Structure 1
Amino acid sequence: MVLVAWLRTSLISGLDQTAWQRAQAVAEIVNSGNLHARLPSPGDRDIAAQVVDSKGTVRSSSPNLEGNRRVFTFAPSASDEPHARSVQHPPHSENGIWRAVAIRAGTPSAPMTVYAAVLTEDVDNSLAKLTRGLAIGVPMAVTALTSVAWLLTGRALRPVEMLRAQTAEITVSDLSRRLDVPPSADALGRLASTLNDLLARLEASTQKQRQFIADASHELRSPLSSLHTQLEVAARHPDSADWRRLGPVLVEDSERLSRLVDDLVRLARLDAHPRFRRRPVDLDEIVFAEVQRARQRTNLTIDQHTVSAARVDGDVDALTRVVRNLLDNAIRYATLRIDVSLGACDGTAQLVVSDDGLGIPGPDRQRVFDRFTRLDDARARDTGGSGLGLAIVRDIITVHRGTVHVEDNAPGARLVVRLPIARL
């Protein structure tokens, strides 16, 4: 519709320009004084012209209007631009619609009006043919293009449907399956690779969660079984139960169970990605307070003379838990002495807790930060550890954008924590 309307406007404008040029040519004849009763023919039967004087008498006509009375009666245009009008079925002329213009000519004493008109029949016929062609061709072309687009889209989306079907078949009980990656290195292939990476991460996370649940159940079973057994024996033989000896043992088992539950709750909160209350924290004050607390629970020598000021951005409770776990770990495995140092250098605060125990072999220095990890010999369940302390340390330090690792102390182990210092 827009095309037909634009084309009609363009063609009619061309007809108006033709009529205007014919009227100017006739006006030049009038002005030259060579006007005759019959105007020279332009060779086109679709162009008509008349010259009318001030009394309305036809003074000259084109051959196709010769002998006719005045056909056009509208006033001439006052501007130099064509101002055409549509005249339908002019009297004594051929049927159809004409585009007619009028201009002034002659002298002031003998003014005349020149009319020129062009028949629009050819334009109307051409536009009618075009409209019929578009009315038939456009729906056919749209149908053909839609069909081709439908087929191409279906073919392009077929691999997507295959990926969707394969994804729907993957269940939480079988995350080992992977999607078939299309051979083409396009967006679909990258999507399949990304989904496979996602499945791999989900599988690893699920396995880790299941292992965690299994380890937690195993760890909880041991102190609960011990408490249950001792209480059951005491209940069945109340007269022979030595409560003075049994009481401290039960208290120790219950404290161990309480520590384990507390560590499990803390790990669960860390897995939920909590928002710590970040603010500038004097890490040296936390170290001094925790060292004083640790000295009340052990006879080991704890040296803190190399602790200097260091301020970091973090959560006070979380960082306190880090220092406490590091000291508890050192107390558990040290022989005679524990050294604690803290300093700031190059925008990083470094906390080091060293013990003089058996140390940690090189291959196990990364594994000790896994949950429920205990090494052989000295690092056994009998020492009272749950295998969660260093895992909590690593998770908290990671949230604080820091690092923690183990170094050799010869003898013993050095646990090194690095945290970015607070911005002023």
Structure 2
Amino acid sequence: MTPDPVRLRITAAAAATTLAVLVVAAAALTLAFARSQAGAADDLARARVADLAARAEQGRVPTLVTDVGDDGFAQVVAGDRVEGASASLGASPPVTDWRPPTGDTAVRDLDDVPDDDETEDYRVWATTVAGPDGPVTVYVGTAHETVAESVRRLVASLAVGLPLLMVVSTLLLWLLVGRVLRPVHQSHRRQQEFVADAAHELQSPLASYRAQLEVALREDRPGEWEHTARDLLAESDRMERLVRDLLFLARDEHSSAAPATLVDLDDVVLEEVARLRPGTTVQVDTSAVTAAPVRGHRGDLGRLVGNLLANAARHAERQVVVSCGVGPDGAVELAVADDGPGIDPGDRDRVFERFWRADAARSDTGSTGLGLSIVRAVAERHGGSVRAADRPGGARFEVRLPAA
């Protein structure tokens, strides 16, 4: 399957942004770590300098200075004579002729300081104090390599960890973008299907229009024009209802919740039944219609009831039964049942899909194929639901709405 180009572009852009952020964060972390390591080394060196200086003032400098770390050195110099040093310096002469003024503490970088059989570059803290026999200078140094090695280990860890983190984060981004885009793609696909279905449904009356006009023009029988005009008016009515239903559904997709106007649903039901009766021979029983106050849009609720009644009347053999009232749980319940061929159990959810057609027994000849879709849209917009319920010997549609 070809990857979604939109998903690829979004994931690539997000991954590039993430990489840039991670690189900047890694650089900032490395810099902060290097400063922290250097600061810790300086603090340790200054403390050791202060300790050795206190001993030098009392003339108690040890010949072998310890506690300076494996990568550090210490040296105590009086004049040109080394009075004490760390093991790494051995019997080396003074590491430098730099002497801070008495009472001052200073820092300087020294290169090529002896370190066993090698030399190292050091950051050296020094102070000069007054000893029993004259000025004494204390040096404590930390090898630059110590800080550099710690930083290199961190960089090596980041060099391994960042690519792995990028792989994981990119995979997560891919999954997240896919999840975010899924409703968009589903909406786009539904829109495409809706447009395709609408075009197909409109094509039939338009083709009938054209065929009847071509026949009438070809035969040129003036007496037939009245019959042709009636047929065209019927097709025009079908097309008008289809366009009206399409516009309603398109509007509903962009509508918020229905307005909270108090509506007596039982009055709406009785009005729609009175509108239906002159155009059908089916008996409509409304004896079970009782008070049912709801909040919503009266016109849309009338459309819901009217579509349910029209659907039931088309499929009923003799009778449609309508009930309406407040149920035991406080919700308003509306039910419309017919004694027609019924609905196959596997189709009870599909009947609410746009332009869906049932089998021949319940084919919606004369309908737009959108009536039950509108019923569901209106019910959901009013915070309710609709379902095709089990019923022997016919179909039954049940609508539940919050009571006012």
TM over 0.5: yes
Q: Relative to 1, partners in 2 of residues 1:9 and 1:197: Cα closer, same or farther, differing over 3 Å?
A: closer
Q: Relative to 1, partners in 2 of residues 1:340 and 1:99: Cα closer, same or farther, differing over 3 Å?
A: farther
Q: Relative to 1, partners in 2 of residues 1:416 and 1:239: Cα closer, same or farther, differing over 3 Å?
A: same
Instruction: Name the structure 2 match of 1:57.
Output: none
CA distance in 1 between counterparts of 2:272 and 2:350 reads: 26
Instruction: Name the structure 2 match of 1:37.
Output: none
Instruction: Name the structure 1 match of 2:303.
Output: 321
1:374 to 324, 342, 357: 357
Find out whether 1:151 has 2:160 as its counterpart.
Answer: yes
Instruction: Name the structure 2 match of 1:121.
Output: 137
Q: Relative to 1, partners in 2 of residues 1:98 and 1:219: Cα closer, same or farther, differing over 3 Å?
A: same
Find out whether 1:300 has 2:282 as its counterpart.
Answer: yes
How far off is 1:262 after superposition? 1.3
Find out whether 1:259 has 2:275 as its counterpart.
Answer: no
Instruction: Name the structure 1 match of 2:229.
Output: 247
Which letter does structure 1 place at the counterpart of 2:40?
L
Aligned counterparts, 1:8-407, within 5 A: 10=47, 44=60, 88=102, 97-98=128-129, 121-122=137-138, 125-126=139-140, 129-130=141-142, 133=143, 135-158=144-167, 163=171, 188=172, 208-272=190-254, 274-345=256-327, 346-380=329-363, 383-407=365-389
CA distance in 2 between counterparts of 1:302 and 1:373 reads: 26
Instruction: Name the structure 2 match of 1:78.
Output: none
* Contact 2:52-2:61 at 8 Å conserved across structures: no
CA distance in 1 between counterparts of 2:227 and 2:387 reads: 41
Structure 2, unaligned runs of 5 or more = 1-37, 63-77, 79-99, 105-125
Deviations 1:293-331 (A, max 9, x none): 223433433222322222334333332221121111112
Larger Rg: 1
Which letter does structure 2 place at the counterpart of 1:97?
T
Deviations 1:12-52 (A, max 9, x none): 77689x69xx9xxxxxxxxxxxxxxxxxx965279xxxxxx
Report the count of equivalent residues: 309
Which letter does structure 1 place at the counterpart of 2:158?
A
CA distance in 2 between counterparts of 1:118 and 1:282 reads: 109
Which letter does structure 2 place at the counterpart of 1:320?
G
Q: Relative to 1, partners in 2 of residues 1:120 and 1:150: Cα closer, same or farther, differing over 3 Å?
A: farther
How far off is 1:7 after superposition? 4.5
Q: State the Cα RMSD in Å.
A: 3.8
Secondary structure (helix, strand or coil) at the match of 1:393 reads: helix
Deviations 1:256-293 (A, max 9, x none): 00111111222223344545334443322322322222
Which letter does structure 1 place at the counterpart of 2:303?
R
| Larger RCO of the pair (alpha carbons < 8 Å, separation 6+) | 2
CA distance in 2 between counterparts of 1:342 and 1:262 reads: 27
* Contact 1:355-1:409 at 8 Å conserved across structures: no
| TM-score normalised over the length of structure 1 | 0.61
| TM-score normalised over the length of structure 2 | 0.64
Deviations 1:191-221 (A, max 9, x none): 6666666677666655544443332222111
CA distance in 2 between counterparts of 1:404 and 1:117 reads: 104
Which letter does structure 2 place at the counterpart of 1:377?
A
* Contact 2:238-2:366 at 8 Å conserved across structures: yes
Identity percentage of aligned residues: 36
Deviations 1:123-142 (A, max 9, x none): xx11xx13xx2x44324432
Deviations 1:219-263 (A, max 9, x none): 111111111222233344554342332332221110100111111
Secondary structure (helix, strand or coil) at the match of 2:362 reads: coil
CA distance in 1 between counterparts of 2:134 and 2:270 reads: 107
Deviations 1:352-372 (A, max 9, x none): 011222222323222211221
